[in-house]
Amino acid sequence: MLKVYLGTTNTAKVKAVKNILEPLGLEVIPISVDSLVSNQPKTDEETIQGAINRAKALPTDGLRIGLEAGVEMLYDDLFLTNYGVLIDQNNNIYKAGGTRITLPKEIKKAIFEDGLELSDAMEKYFGILNIKHKDGAIGYFTDGWVKRIDIFEHIIKLLYGQYLHGGLNA
């Protein structure tokens, strides 16, 4: 059975990966590793780097997956972002990004002026506790139509599909 190491023990991310890969006969092994980026990545580059760092910190005897959520300023709007990286046994690196939605100005202020993480800003402004292990900001701001697990399932499908295809050089 092919092992798939996941660089987090976050409940929503682990469930997303297991939902997609375990039915295919893969063994998903979550391991807590550091992203080596800020607790609240504030650019696409930093968010992708966090995913890469998570994947690279995992054992090499299987597939390695790093998932990272962040934010990105575009025009005058703050967007919620998420990225994933899959590294195969030959050290090929596959990258994928997912959903983007704008976040309210209160969240933008809390992150950039008050230095809060998104989950802390959600707690401060909307009274939601432990949101990153539940439906996430995406669930709150889409009235439950899209949940955090959904966006990470999508990224896992993109990553695993690229891996099956053989990547950019196929």
In a domain, 19, yes or no: yes
Average pLDDT for residues 3-18, to the nearest whole number? 96
Residue 60 lies in a domain: yes
Domain with 8 in it: what CATH number?
3.90.950.10
For the stretch 32-58, pLDDT in tens is 999 999 999 999 999 999 999 999 999
Residue 152 located in a structural domain:
yes
Residue 24, domain extent? 3-103+145-169
Task: Say how far apart CA 70 and CA 33 lie, in whole Å.
Answer: 17
pLDDT band for position 169 (cuts 50, 70, 90) = low
Write down the pTM of the prediction: 0.93
As a whole number, the mean pLDDT across the chain is 93
Structural domain includes residue 133: no
Asked whether the predicted pLDDT for residue 113 surpasses 80, the reply is yes
Block residue for tokens 């550091």? 34
pLDDT over threshold 90, residue 150: yes
* Structural domains counted in the chain: 1
Task: Identify whether 33 is part of a domain.
Answer: yes
What token pair was written down for 107?
């969240």
Task: For residue 122, count other CB atoms closer than 10 A to its CB.
Answer: 24
Identify the pLDDT of residue 170. Answer: 47
How many percent of the chain have pLDDT more than 70? 96
User: 57-66 pLDDT, tens per residue?
Assistant: 999 999 999 9
Contact 79, 71 (CB under 8 A): yes
